[in-house]
Chain A
């Protein structure tokens, strides 16, 4: 198993490199000369040439990638075209906000998903089961950016209970755990939690139903074990797979929150990406995608390692 863990960890390196290459290529596939993605369109010709040299854009593509990678590893993601600031300075605050939103949303989604899925799997075929399955299908089918708008219409426009935009009073992006800030978190969090809720419900329902059908559960029942004790056995068997799905969902939310952040003007990576797209600010686009993708690669690795560690039956050569 140690060997497997080691190999799996090592395999993340070429994946990370290749993901980096895809992000590098994003600027290359953009229409027009990549230099236009770095300097403003009104820059004088000699400045353009100087920048071209500085960035090594006069060199062949593989060398350019090497140079780019060298800078990225040192934390230099380039400068924003719109603001002139280093990409990382805006990105670092944004990523914190996205991470918090995604984390809270996944937690809520997992909690609801486990409860619904557990109930549905235990009482298969009942009204509870049908209700949970229906909710799960709705959860994965709903365009979450639209759900966000509906939430705003109900809770902000009609009822005036919760704020519709931003992460804090007066458009502040500094977070603190007081009611003024938390009430800004509620709507985006609930909106975003719907997807993991749906997927976790489906997964947990399937797992629980499958485990309940296995012989050892019948044996435990025959032995006279109480429902609570049997429940613990089911949890123990379902945990590795359920945790893996949940871990990946957190990663998907990091990337998927783009649209929901746009709806709520949540000052995270989604809003950053949105303005980068709008202004065609390719360095910001590239940097943000790179950091989010790397986070996802790391999360994938952690989930895989955890799953193997939790479930010794998984023996992968």
Chain B
């Protein structure tokens, strides 16, 4: 399995899948869509995520109060208080409003690092897999080093050293996920590289760049993309975790992890209000996870 030096069985399987990918016809995406539509779990998760996305995008219109404006006389109200349906926090700010606004940063910090890591990791991984030799050696051995840290530890180490801040947290998380994507990209690319149609392209005089662009990328992006979607859930948990530790977002900015941290002191007064932001992280994370599972099955990528 995913030990430090050898690609896991799952990664090897990804390569095999990529090999079969050449058999994909024009109807491939139609097939994927058909399979996705028939998968109730994926549909429910995707709809929930879409609803949440709309809610946080239109947060300023939907939120009943100001996310920063608190009041000392209405601190820590219970769930169901008139005017404050989800209660108020330790500074008297409306929880519903802050959850709506907080989702923006939590989603942003959960998705951006994966997008960056997807771009950088795919570039490096495909290069390593296609070029091979010394380039492969250099990239993959560097990857091994970062793999030698548990993800949470590496994220905490980097953002802990750089100091609190959204930018530093995103940088740290991107660095955490790049090696993981490189590994998958490299093993999938190696599987495709040795196929006949790549040899044929080379024999007909195509340059390395053209081969990668036309023949390799089309066959490797699918599996890498599916793998990356499954990282969003992890990324969101770690990103909110960083804010929970006081790294990442700084107060008074609304963010689910940070809200969870500041509400921790209220756990004996309004316990159920205090755990609400975490419930939001949980629901988002589980939906992204199930969505990634659904995509993997629909796109017929194993791993």
- B-binding residues in A (CB < 8 A): 8, 11, 14-15, 18-19, 22-23, 26-27, 29-31, 137-138, 140-147, 149-150, 152-153, 157-158, 203, 241, 244-245, 248, 251-252, 254-256, 258-259, 262-263, 273-274, 276-278, 280, 282, 285-286, 289, 292-293, 296-297, 300-301, 303-304, 307, 316
Contacts and interface: CB of A to CB of B under 8 A. Distances in A.
8 closest Cβ pairs, A-B complex: A146-B278, A255-B150, A255-B153, A141-B286, A153-B271, A18-B145, A26-B161, A141-B285
Q: By DSSP majority rule, is chain A's interface helix, strand, loop, or mixed?
A: helix
B89 to A, nearest CB: 15
Interface in B194-213: none
Given A143-B281, A255-B150, A258-B152, A248 B237 contact: no
A152 B278 CA distance: 14
B255 to A, nearest CB: 13
A142 B282 contact: yes
B233 A141 contact: yes
Contact of B275 (A22, A137, A153, A241): A153
Given A149-B260, A152-B267, A316 B6 contact: yes
Interface string B213-249: 0000000000000000000010001001100111100
Given A141-B288, A157-B271, A241-B1, 4 more contacts: A8-B5, A30-B162, A153-B271, A255-B152
Contacts of B151: 252, 255-256
Contacts of A297: 4, 148
B53 interface: no
A202 B2 CA distance: 14
Contact of A296 (B2, B150, B285): B150
15 contacts: A29-B161, A141-B285, A143-B241, A145-B241, A146-B275, A146-B279, A146-B282, A147-B278, A152-B267, A153-B272, A256-B151, A259-B245, A301-B4, A303-B3, A304-B4
B278 A292 contact: no
B163 A149 contact: no
B160 interface: yes
Given A141-B233, A149-B275, A244 B289 contact: no
A158 to B, nearest CB: 7
A150 B231 CA distance: 25
Contacts of B50: none
B264 interface: yes
Interface string B254-296: 0001001000100110011011011101100110111001000
Interface in B140-157: 141, 144-146, 148-154, 156-157
Contacts of A141: 233, 237, 282, 285-286, 288-289
B150 A22 contact: no
Nearest to B240: A143
Contact of A289 (B157, B245, B257, B285): B157
Contacts of B149: 19, 22, 255, 293, 296
A50 B282 CA distance: 51
Given A15-B144, A150-B278, A274-B245, A289 B153 contact: yes
Nearest to B236: A143
B153 to A, nearest CB: 3
